Each structure stands twice: as C-alpha cells, then as structure tokens.
Amino acid sequence: MHLDYSKKFQQSINKLKSEGRYRFFNEIERKYGSHPIASWNHNSSQSDIIVWCSNDYLGMSQNNLVVTTMKNAVEQMGTGSGGTRNISGNSTAIIELENELAKLHKKEKALVFSSGYVANESTISTILDILEDAIVFSDEKNHASIISGIKKSQANKEIFRHNDLNHLEELINLYPENKPKLIIFESIYSMDGDYGDIAGIVKIAKKHNAITFLDEVHAVGMYGETGAGVSEKLKLNDQIDIIQGTLGKAFGIMGGYITSTKLICDTIRSYASGFIFTTAMPPALAKSATTSIKYLKKSNIERTLQQKNTACLREHLNKSSIPFLDNGSHIVPVMVNDPIRCNEISHILLNEFGHYIQPINYPTVPEGTERLRITPGPLHTEKMISELAVALKYAFEKTKKVDYKKVL
C-alpha cells in the first residue's frame, strides 16, 4: 500500500496558512552595544530596526559585565560542559549558580535545567509521579510547558478559571482532605501581562494543605528589591513551596531553574529525566548567569528605567487611542483581535517604519484575541516610543477597512 506522508504534512501546513496562523520567523541579527536596535536580514539586504518584543527585558544579554564574564569563562573553560550532571558535566560554575539562585529566592536549594520549559515540564511531571494519586489544580492560562508536564504525568487534573479563586476552592472541595494536591500558577501571565493572585492562592493552599508551584519566569530580575520576582515584592517567597524561573529573559542568558527545599530538589534531581539525561549547562553560561543575577540584585537602574518606559508607552498609546490591556506589569499587549490584521499591522510596522513587533496569534493566545505584545526596555527612548505610537496609529488606520475574513 502506498502511504502519502507528504500529503498529510502539506495539509497541516495549508490549514495553518488558511487560518492565518502560519508562523513566519524574521531573521534578526543582534548587535552588542546597540540593543534595542538590531539588524533585520531580508531579501538579501540588511536594515536597522528597533526591537519591541524582546524578552531580554532589561538588556542584560548586552551588559558589559555579563558579556565579559562569559568571554573570560569561555577562554578559561572552553565552550561545552562535556556531559550530563551525573557524568562529567557537574561544574563548579553550575554549583555556584544554584547557590546564588537559592540565596536569591531565600530557599534551601536550587536546580538548574536547560530551559524554563524543561524546568516546568520535568519538575511538574516528576512531582506528580512521586505523589502517585495527587490532583493537580492548574490555572487555565498556565504556560504550555506546565500543561505538558501535567499531561506527561497522567495525573488527575482540574483546570480553574483564570485567577478565579472561588473556582479553585470549589474544585479543591470536590476531593477528600487526605488527597495530595498541587496548585500551579504564574506570577505574571506572559500574554496578558496580568498578575496571579499569590496571596490568595497561598491562603487556599494552606487551608487545604496543598503544595504550591509558582512560575516566575516573567518576573525574575524584574520585580522585588533584589529581582527575585513578584513573590519577593509581596514578601511571600517563603510561603511558596516551589518557585520556578528562567535565566533566558531578564537575566539575559539561557536556562531554567527551580528553587525549593533540599528534599524536593534532591527528589527532582534524582528522578526527573529532563534533568538527568541531558547535557549540563556550559560553565560559561552558568558563570555569566550568576554575574547577571548578582548584578540585578544590587542594581535598580534597569528596572526603574524599564518601568518608566512602560508608563511612557501606555501614555502614548492612550493619547493615540490604541487599544491595549492595562495590566500594571512590564508587558503591554496591544489588542488587534484578528489574526490576519495582526500579521498585517506587524508587517507595516516593520517594513514601513522599522519597528519590529512579532504578531501573537492562536494557539499562543485564544482565537479572536490576537495581539502585538510590546515589552519596552530600559534602553528604548521617549522618541522611539512616540514614533512607535504614531506608526501603530497609522497601521491600525490603514488596515481598518479591509474585511480580512472576505479576503480569505
């Protein structure tokens, strides 16, 4: 029998294209010392653009101290780590990084993973496997890596409506007191930029003797006196059982981690296949991540400037009547609510004005809530911000009258 594999692949790609969900990756070349200006490589030419959608929230990937640390570390120790943590990859640099992370979050221990995604997926699935008949309660807007960890474990799950603590408690009450329970939520939700209710969830968790797992990926480096996230800002870090974070966003490197008790970290270290069976983080990355964390513990300049620029952008958007979600965080989602128009606005901004904001479409966000997710950094200027607002207004106007559903 002849099996036409290509047809299946082509059909799946065509489906994405017809729904306006086919992802196009722009080719961006970052330039040390120029952030947020970068080169856009397209049609065999290069042009300077302003990046507005980077998760290098504070520009730390180009911080002199961090860059020098990485360069020196490569010269001293070479590039790769040489193996898994178990077999020759357990460097002094990675141990120092874990100690620094534990100190940052005021926890007994930390464990580093290859990414925040892997940290979530591996830790969550392992905990649920270890607890055997646990129920996991997960906010409906939790990240794909959390969902994947839950699915992998095959544990019983309850999805509570986003930030709806009454719903969470209603679901918890369906189960006997002696059932192990894990509540998973985020401190800042990536796409809406709104805050999770840490105090409220901690209260419910204590009442029902549940373990709490908090994803602080978008908040570490950004919030709190020393950059330990929203839980630090609210002085609640000691109330959360497991805090998870990334080194790839505000800290400007790559990698993910959890911080918790010695016992929980030792359990994950010993059972999580996503921790055990993979090459350890290279020492140069670990060294530079430690430098970045230490730097942001003491320096508030980047956070202050970032917050000032976010407020400035909101002001300009308001003046130009550009619709956005006003969430109080550093993430400014400009709502377009149509996938094709969203792509079109992004295209106009880039091609006609040199402003780069990647469109965010389904399945990253629900259908009909397509948006441009803007993350102003400390190095954007007020001039750049006001020019962006003008360009956005123009692009919104230009795309207003086209009925994209009919174009399809």
Query: What residue ranges bind ligand PLP (CB under 6 A)?
Result: 115-117, 120, 143, 145, 186, 190, 215, 217, 246, 248, 256
Q: How far is 267 from 271, CA to CA, in rounded Å? A: 6
What's the min distance (Å) between Cβ of 122 and ligand PLP? 12
What's the min distance (Å) between Cβ of 160 and ligand PLP? 17
- Residue 386 structure tokens: 């006001």
Q: Does the active-site annotation cover 249?
A: yes
Q: How far is 78 from 70, CA to CA, in rounded Å? A: 10
| C-beta closer to ligand PLP: residue 139 or 370 | 139
* β-bridge pairing 355-356 and 242-246: unpaired
What's the min distance (Å) between Cβ of 126 and ligand PLP? 16
What's the min distance (Å) between Cβ of 141 and ligand PLP? 9
| C-beta closer to ligand PLP: residue 124 or 128 | 124
| C-beta closer to ligand PLP: residue 143 or 294 | 143
What does R_g of the chain's alpha carbons equal in angstroms? 22
What's the min distance (Å) between Cβ of 140 and ligand PLP? 13
Which residue's entry shows tokens 């109080």? 328
Rounded to 5, what percent of the chain is helix, strand, coil? 45, 15, 40
The dihedrals phi and psi of 356, each to the nearest 5 degrees, come to: -105, 110
Three-state SS for 201?
helix
Residue nearest to ligand PLP (CB): 116
| C-beta closer to ligand PLP: residue 274 or 339 | 274
Instruction: Indicate which residue of 249, 294, 400, 405 is catalytic.
Output: 249
The maximal CA–CA distance of the chain, rounded, in angstroms, is 67
Q: How far is 190 from 127, CA to CA, in rounded Å? A: 24
| C-beta closer to ligand PLP: residue 152 or 347 | 152
338: left (phi over 0), alpha (psi -120 to 50) or beta: beta
Q: How far is 335 from 312, CA to CA, in rounded Å? A: 18
Element (H, E) at 211: strand 211-215
Three-state SS for 406?
helix
| C-beta closer to ligand PLP: residue 57 or 324 | 57
What's the min distance (Å) between Cβ of 222 and ligand PLP? 13
Q: Which residues are catalytic?
A: 249
